[in-house]
């Protein structure tokens, strides 16, 4: 076994950064999709879950990066 390929010699920091970036992008996409879907719900559906159309408008107007 070469010392250059030994597990302890591998730089795991790059993968961690890539993984964090991928996770962030996934969360942003989910937020965008969920907000768009919620904005299509009927008044009756919103009432069933206890949310007003004003709440939906506020949430839908947020940029995808804001929680």
Tell me how far apart the alpha carbons of residues 67 and 46 are, in angstroms, rounded to a whole number.
20
Question: Tokens 């950064």 appear where?
Answer: 17
Tell me how far apart the alpha carbons of residues 59 and 28 are, in angstroms, rounded to a whole number.
14
Distance of CA 51 to the CA centre of its chain: 21
Could you state, in order of their start, the residue ranges of all structural domains in the chain?
7-60
pLDDT at 58 over 70: yes
- When pLDDT is cut at 50, 70 and 90, the band that residue 13 belongs to is low
Of 13-27, 37-51, 53-67, which gets the smallest average pLDDT?
A: 13-27
pLDDT of residue 15: 74
Write the CA distances from 44 to 40, 50, 53, 55, integer angstroms.
12, 10, 10, 14
Question: Tokens 């506020």 appear where?
Answer: 58
């Amino acid at each position: 076994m070469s010392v250059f390929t030994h597990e302890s010699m591998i730089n795991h920091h790059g993968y961690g950064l890539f993984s964090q970036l991928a996770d962030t992008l996934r969360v942003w996409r989910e937020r965008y999709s969920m907000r768009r879907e919620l904005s299509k719900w009927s008044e009756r559906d919103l009432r069933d879950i206890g949310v007003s159309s004003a709440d939906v408008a506020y949430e839908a107007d947020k940029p995808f990066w804001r929680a």
